[in-house]
Amino acid sequence: MAERHGPLANIRVLDLGRIMAAPWATQMLADLGAEVIKIERPGAGDDTRAWGPPFLRDSDGHPTKESGYFLSVNRGKRSVTLDITKPEGQAILREMAGTVDVVIENFKAGGLAKYGLDAASLRAINPRLIYCSVTGFGQDGPRADQAAYDFAIQAMGGLMSVTGERDDLPGGGPQKVGVPIIDLMTGMYAGVAILAALNRRHETGRGDTIDLAMLDVASAFLANQAMNYLVSGRIPQRGGNRHPNIQPQDVFGAADGRFVLAVGNDGQFAKLCAVLGQPEWSQRPEFSTNAGRVKANSELTALLSQAFAPWSRADLLARLEQAGVPAAPINTIDQVFADPQLVHRAMLREVPHPLSGTVPQVVSPMNFAEAPLDFDKAPPLLGADTAEILSSFGISEKSRHELAEKGII
């Protein structure tokens, strides 16, 4: 194995995660330099390997079995196939857990206890172990036994009630976010919690057990919308792209396309009015403060829509940028990665891959001056590292052959 770098190069992680939430956390840890060993089912692997099309194409242009979904969340890891439902697989996993720093899993609550692979069992073997469980609803409570997916939690957690156009307008109704945001945020919270537990272990010498629930996460990042309700008693409603607390912030149309306007304070509003040749708007009592603009939003939106209509989008955005008024085009995904700023920041990179030669990866946005990150290991082929890793635990080639014949690896 190549030498690891980054601020977590001394950390070893056993990843029993599947789908998105837990694997997002472990990809972040791998980006930071940790050795992440991904445990997968023999013959099938992580469910997301089959979540396509699209699938990566090999060097001859033929589709492989590597889905774009799987490739988005498993960079930098090593894959070991192991059937943990069998006693032999459980014994191997327990031995591995005795040497690692972190175990993360997203089985249903209590699902690993019947195999002796739950937090209590593994932390009895390794008291320094940090064990992170990711579930839909947590380890206790009336919903603890229920399964969950991102879409369902976006609905249950209130996010869809404030996302989408108003019901009385064309296209109105609840909308999910265009990426699995609950999974991603759960993975981020898991990563932060693991790092906090690692830091505390420096003081206590002991690991910890982390119980992370997707519904808890969904409620936690309702943020200003939750507090809007809690301090006012008024239930937030869908408002399309209109910001509930700051105006003008919305999608507007120029002569040749739409754009986002994101005015954040009274000074920026005055600059906007000057660009539009209407400086007096910023002096009108109903528009002079943000609170007034929020209350008079319908009138303000109508005036701005009329004023923007004759402009070309490029000219308008250029003038707003010069004036210091936040605004932006609404980019498609291809336009995002063609943006000169992201090109300069090298956010999209090609990583060597055994089937296709290289595979594109959107890399971590974290940059460290003293411990730069490596992005040199593609998401692994199923079981690619089984022999090497099991050999490092003293399992002979003969024993590995016998395990393979039994379907354990």
State yes or no: is 339 an active-site residue. Answer: no
Point out the catalytic residue in the list 15, 46, 83, 183: 183
Cβ 300 vs Cβ 293: under 8 Å:
yes
Before 365, cis peptide (omega within 30)? no
Burial status of residue 59 (CB atoms within 10 A of its CB: 0-12, 13-18, 19 or more) = exposed
Cβ 187 vs Cβ 29: under 8 Å:
no
**Strands, E, within 151-301: which ranges?**
208-213, 249-254, 257-262
Q: Which two tokens stand for residue 342?
A: 């992201």
Return the bridge partners of 35, or none. 12
Crossing angle of helices 266-275/313-323, nearest 10°?
A: 130
Q: Give the C-alpha separation, 316 to 254, whole Å.
A: 8
Return the bridge partners of 48, or none. none
Name 1's Cβ contacts closer than 8 Å, sequence gap at least 6: 35, 78, 388
Catalytic residue positions, numbered: 183
